Structure 1
Amino acid sequence: MSAKQIRIADVIKHFESWCPQSIAYDWDNVGLQVGTLDGEVTGVMTTLDVTEAVVDEAIRSNTNLIIAHHPLLFAPPRKLDTDTPKGRIIQKLLKHDVTVYAAHTNLDLIEGGVNDMLADALELNQKRVFLPEGKQTYKKLIVFVPKTHEQEVKDALHAGGAGNIGNYEKVSFVSGGSGYFQPNADAQPFIGQAGEIEKVDEVRMEVLVPSENVNQAVTAMVKAHPYEEVAYDIYPVEQTGKVYGLGRIGKLPVPMTLQELAELVKERYDVQHVRFIGDASATVETVAVLGGSGRDYINQALQQADVYITGDLTFHETQDAMEAGLNLIDPGHYAEKIMKQKVADYLQAEFLEVPIFTSQVNTDPFRGI
């Protein structure tokens, strides 16, 4: 498949098979922000934020899809004044046909998302979700397919997000049998004649589908299926998948001092400055990490970890945490930029011929001296 044949919607469909909009918090604004998904993709750029400099970077590189972590439009605008910074950004995006798509809390919550990226950068083991929000749910999809098209339909289902269970991919069960049908006078059958009973060697194909992927799996399956009318069933199942939620807790490969961990955080997260609270010589091993602003969860971290790594800590709550004996490390909100390369890598593995790169613009508003 060439880059010209790949549409923006194809890229987003693949991305959402990993990071569905459905698990984002209700107050969040994720998904399409500006532009259209109905167009051929010329390039994809990943970024933490959408600033005017980021948009200029996309335009220079002939990129028409920006995937951001922080939504450009977090709250509905009351007006679009193109003399304001945000108005200028939207005007420029529309003028140059650049689409902006945001994955915010869904990318925070999902397995392999921002919080896993931050935990993995520190090589935490025995990792678990810090603040569980729920479990992935599944549906059972059963479809009857002529034996001659078994592989095509199976491939389409897997491409549509079906058949992934835990650490296993492309899982299905297939059994053989005979299908019987009689086309009526208005039918245009792939096999058989109007008014005559037809017997066909068929297979019954069963796959589990994450609930959020059911529609796209069915669409892909119907498109690949040769029959005019596709016989399939969808059932709810009690089986649930992995837990998703905010933050991660795990153990360092070896215990170290708080100061040593703070230095490691600065290096691994590639940030200019790190603040820490606590005894610099204290030994820490169990770590809680939450990307972005996690100051609302200091008490929960105090109960579960030796040290809590999160951004946007304020003076008084940090002082209270210090009095309670919790060690804190604040790498700033900009540490979430770790998502740029990981998301780009995920997309590039699927769309080899599409130019996909990370924004090189530093969108951190803070500067140090």
Structure 2
Amino acid sequence: MPTARRNDNLLSAWIQRAGIGYTPGTMNVNDVIESMEQWAPASLAYSWDKIGLATGSPDQKITKVITALTITRDAFNAAKRAKAQMILSHHPLIWDPITTLRSDNPLSKLFLDIAQSGIACYSAHTNLDVAQNGVNHVLADRLGLTNKQALFKVPQARQSKLVVFVPESHFIRVREAVFVAGAGGIRDYTECSFSSLGHGTFLPHENAKPFAGRIGKLNEEPEIRFETLLPSEHTPKILHALREAHPYEEPAFDIIPLEMDNPVYSLGLRGELARPVSLDTFAKRVKQKLDISHVRVTGKGTAKVKHIAVMGGAGGDSADNIPDGVDVFVTGDVKYHKALDAADAGLNIIDAGHHGTEKWIVPAMADYLKQILGGLKVATYMEPDPFRVL
């Protein structure tokens, strides 16, 4: 199975250029958070989501992390047995607002026990759903899909263009800084930009501290106009890097919103099988590749299918919006009437369950952390499906 970042050129470039390296005993919770947010930036989460650090401190020292789908009592016990100081989960620990923390309530008792244990809990949920090489990429790869494309756009991943004016003497320094911070990526390309020569003017007043020129005198400076793509999820970091590298007291730059989505991110994916197969044959493949006990299928078993859409977790409500040309929609938590509507529309559905379509992100998260944080010990807890089939 491909690991979480093996084909992620943008992330690979960031790792190489940032020179990340840790030794055992030097890491803290925030190092794991920053690493995860290079893969699945927090800004990609939907506004209703409850991602992030739920317990613990960013400064807490750690030597071992355990990955899990959900922070259940069993997952917590597994973390204690593994002597992990942090749980990295897909599903958030706290979902509904807490009104009481009573020890006679099983859920709030779990929260209390986790807090008292000192174990930090961090979740990457919808941001990991839409991330490149995230939940849906892992699902699509397990099912053998090729020619993967975005299924639904991610509005919170809109891009802008950064235009900054830099004196020639500092152009390379500024360009390098914004690239390292995450600017300039287009699909499988990094460090994409355009530059042109020009002249900038400014008149420093009494309290100014100009890099060039004199107080009260109009200064004309040879400058380079530098343009590059600014992904929304990295904007604060990129602008901070820009200001740190730019020699001017007040750098001149523009942020221009673009009417285009970032093609790297998608809610769900669509792809193809190598050759058409019957619906029932593919359904059996889904069951085998996801290592689950059963699937629920709508449509005629003999129908030939090739074009597949996938959405891990609770994707049933998206069935109404699946684009034309898709033969099968693989997801979980499909409601009865949604299945009827899909059948009327001629869309076949394979409901492989919420658990079945998401559980393989757990080892993928572990693989990712092992690669990016080499000094960190990483364990996994594979929770069982809460349902049994009799």
TM-score bracket relative to the smaller structure: 0.7 to 0.9
How many Å apart are 1:337 and its aligned residue? 1.0
- What RMSD over aligned residues (CA atoms) do the two structures have, in Å? 3.8
For residue 286 of structure 1, what is the aligned residue in structure 2? 307
2:369 to 347, 351, 369: 347
2-structure distance, mates of 1:11, 1:364: 27
1-structure distance, mates of 2:310, 2:382: 25
Contact 1:52 1:89 in 2 (8 A): yes
Counterpart AA for 2:51: V
1:167 to 167, 171, 188: 188
Q: Does 1:57 align with 2:57?
A: no
How many Å apart are 1:25 and its aligned residue? 2.2
**Higher deviation after alignment, 307-316 or 200-209:** 200-209
Residues 188 and 270 of structure 1, relative CA distance in 2, 3 Å threshold: farther
Counterpart AA for 1:254: R
2-structure distance, mates of 1:153, 1:42: 35
2-structure distance, mates of 1:232, 1:99: 41
2-structure distance, mates of 1:324, 1:219: 50
For residue 256 of structure 2, what is the aligned residue in structure 1? 236
Contact 1:135 1:240 in 2 (8 A): no
1-structure distance, mates of 2:251, 2:345: 62
The one-character-per-residue Cα deviations of 1:128-175 (angstroms, maximum 9, x if unpaired) are 222334373334556788999887766654443233222112445678
* 1:284 match: secondary structure: strand
Q: Does 1:100 align with 2:124?
A: no
**1:37-76 equivalences in 2 (<5 Å):** 37-76=58-97
Q: Does 1:19 align with 2:40?
A: yes
**1:353-368 equivalences in 2 (<5 Å):** 353-355=375-377, 357-368=378-389
2-structure distance, mates of 1:53, 1:187: 61
Residues 300 and 40 of structure 1, relative CA distance in 2, 3 Å threshold: same
How many Å apart are 1:49 and its aligned residue? 0.6
For residue 4 of structure 2, what is the aligned residue in structure 1? none
Unaligned 5+ segments in structure 2 are 1-20, 216-220
* 1:366 match: secondary structure: coil
For residue 217 of structure 1, what is the aligned residue in structure 2? 238
How many Å apart are 1:325 and its aligned residue? 4.2
Contact 2:279 2:302 in 1 (8 A): yes
Unaligned 5+ segments in structure 1 are none
Contact 1:6 1:40 in 2 (8 A): yes
**1:1-369 equivalences in 2 (<5 Å):** 1-3=21-23, 4-134=25-155, 136-141=157-162, 156-171=177-192, 207-220=228-241, 225=245, 231=251, 233-238=253-258, 240-243=260-263, 244-301=265-322, 303-319=324-340, 321-322=342-343, 325-335=346-356, 336-355=358-377, 357-369=378-390
2-structure distance, mates of 1:351, 1:153: 28
Residues 226 and 38 of structure 1, relative CA distance in 2, 3 Å threshold: farther
Counterpart AA for 1:309: V
Residues 264 and 206 of structure 1, relative CA distance in 2, 3 Å threshold: same
Residues 28 and 254 of structure 1, relative CA distance in 2, 3 Å threshold: same
* 2:133 match: secondary structure: coil
1-structure distance, mates of 2:198, 2:338: 66
Residues 131 and 162 of structure 1, relative CA distance in 2, 3 Å threshold: closer
1-structure distance, mates of 2:230, 2:322: 34
* 2:112 match: secondary structure: helix
How many Å apart are 1:333 and its aligned residue? 0.7
Residues 297 and 138 of structure 1, relative CA distance in 2, 3 Å threshold: closer
1-structure distance, mates of 2:118, 2:208: 43
Residues 228 and 128 of structure 1, relative CA distance in 2, 3 Å threshold: closer
Aligned length: 366
Counterpart AA for 2:125: H
1-structure distance, mates of 2:323, 2:184: 39
2-structure distance, mates of 1:149, 1:96: 50
How many Å apart are 1:261 and its aligned residue? 0.4
How many Å apart are 1:256 and its aligned residue? 0.4
Residues 324 and 176 of structure 1, relative CA distance in 2, 3 Å threshold: closer
Contact 2:369 2:376 in 1 (8 A): no
1-structure distance, mates of 2:152, 2:36: 24
Contact 1:173 1:206 in 2 (8 A): yes
How many Å apart are 1:254 and its aligned residue? 0.7
How many Å apart are 1:262 and its aligned residue? 0.9
1-structure distance, mates of 2:373, 2:223: 33
Residues 180 and 150 of structure 1, relative CA distance in 2, 3 Å threshold: same
The percentage of aligned residue pairs carrying the same residue is 36
